[in-house]
Structure 1
Amino acid sequence: MVKIVGINGSLRLGSYSAKALELATQKVETYGANVEILDLRQMNLPFCNGEDQYPGYPDVEKLRQTVKEADGLILVTPEYHGSVSGVIKNALDLMGFDELSGKVTGLISVLGGQTNSNALNELRLIMRWVHAWVIPEQIALGQAWKAFDEQGKLIDEKLSERLDKFAQSLVENTKKLK
């Protein structure tokens, strides 16, 4: 069984990014993967300063070890000012090739406005730089404030189908490269 780690790049309570990650997790699990969520809201992570060690911050080691032991990743970010959130960028900066190289990665961005690919392109660039394998399927969830129903499900059936294909691709490609 493949192990996927999901990381949500939003700290906001009631985050649409967290809802998107939850839905992606459910879909990925239906394809037989084991998923662990690293909730950055519950972790005490310092700002990355380029050091190898961060004494006094055991969550840095937890982040690094959990990702290192994973076969694949789901990265979800809100789009802020046309790019990734500082939260997810900082978490990725606290890791390096040892943790991220070779990881099959699926990307999801969540926007308050119209759908675009800015944050997804930035994440793709970051992950390529650390030698991860980003699947071609990606999700940009625009106008997030009206994308979910009261049960937290996606209202747009086509978007839900794309999320299913995203999950299937992530699991299948992770199995192939494992």
Structure 2
Amino acid sequence: MDPRYLHERPATGLGPLAPAPRILLLYGSLRERSYSRLVVEECARLLQLMGCETRIFDPSDLPLPDQVASDDHPAVHELREHALWSEGQVWCSPERHGQITGIMKTQVDHLPLAYKGLRPTQGRTLAVMQVSAGSQSFNSVNTLRILGRWMRMVTIPNQSSVAKAYEEFDEAGRMKPSSYYDRIVDVMEELVRFTVLVRPHADQLVDRYSERRERDRPVATPADAAGLTRP
């Protein structure tokens, strides 16, 4: 990366930069040399350089959904705690048989829309990425976008797809200079901007009529607060 062209605080002027934006990163492979993990490690370095706090979840101990009664498992609790901590997330999956991996889907399946009255994903920003063993494809990122929308996340427009990922990393696991790496920098800059832009409005963006009605929480209008009668 050429630091002459990097905005170290890309969200300056878009909203409060303190506290540091909190970003959770998920990857979708358990291989010893997992390219999706190497990508999120590069992303974490970039995000830290841009002033963010990051956590990378290790899915190696995660059970299948419904495998453990009530999902009472330390890895499930850890994942949900990380999600609740986060303001934004990065999801990176390998493409396997034209789709995301089961490891990636398992992590998303363990993140409920509502959990103990809290929302692990709703209103949070999301960047989607994929790695491929062959030519460039967008099957996995397209699926991740569908999942992000279903989880009521603010999925940013930009995305990354790294083709022939085995050629893009050196022996130490660091990504080589390339247009693929430049795109990852682009995506991280955009994620930081959207996260800071959304953070003052996250609660309002997921405030829904149907949920207010279900919980019997009428909207207190200014007229109601003043004790005035509506016409």
Task: Pick the TM interval, shorter chain.
Answer: over 0.9
SS at match of 1:99: coil
* Equivalent of 1:36 in 51, 55, 65: 55
One-letter amino acid of the counterpart of residue 82, structure 1: G
Counterpart of 1:11 (choices 24, 30, 43) is 30
Question: Which structure ranks higher in relative contact order (CA pairs < 8 Å, sequence separation ≥ 6)?
Answer: 1
SS at match of 2:197: helix
Alignment TM-score, normalising by the size of structure 1: 0.92
Q: Report the counterpart of residue 5 of structure 2 in structure 1.
A: none
Q: CA deviation at 1:134?
A: 0.9
Q: Distance in 2 between matches of 1:14 and 1:143?
A: 14
Q: How does 1:135-146 map to 2 (within 5 A)?
A: 135-146=156-167
1:78 aligns with 2:98: no
Mapped to 2, the partners of 1:46 and 1:157 lie a distance apart of: 36
Cα distance in 2, alignment partners of residues 135 and 50 from structure 1: 33
Determine the C-alpha separation between the residues in 2 that align with 1:163 and 1:68.
Answer: 25
Q: Does 1:2 align with 2:34?
A: no
- TM-score (normalizing by structure 2): 0.72
In proportion to residue count, which structure has more strand?
1
Q: Which runs of 5+ in 2 are unaligned?
A: 1-19, 114-118, 200-231
Q: In terms of Rg, which structure is larger?
A: 2
Amino acid of the residue matched to residue 65 of structure 1?
E
* CA separation of 1:92 and 1:170: change in aligned 2, threshold 3 A: same
**TM-aligned CA deviation for residue 51 of structure 1:** 8.6
Q: Is 2:39 the partner of 1:23?
A: no
CA RMSD of aligned residues (A): 1.7
Flag structure 1 segments of 5+ consecutive residues without an equivalent. Answer: none
Residue 126 (1) aligns with residue 147 (2): yes
- Structure 1 window deviating more from structure 2 (107-116 vs 155-164): it is 155-164
Aligned residue runs from structure 1 range 26-105, under 5 A:
26-41=45-60, 44-49=61-66, 53-55=70-72, 57-97=73-113, 98-105=119-126
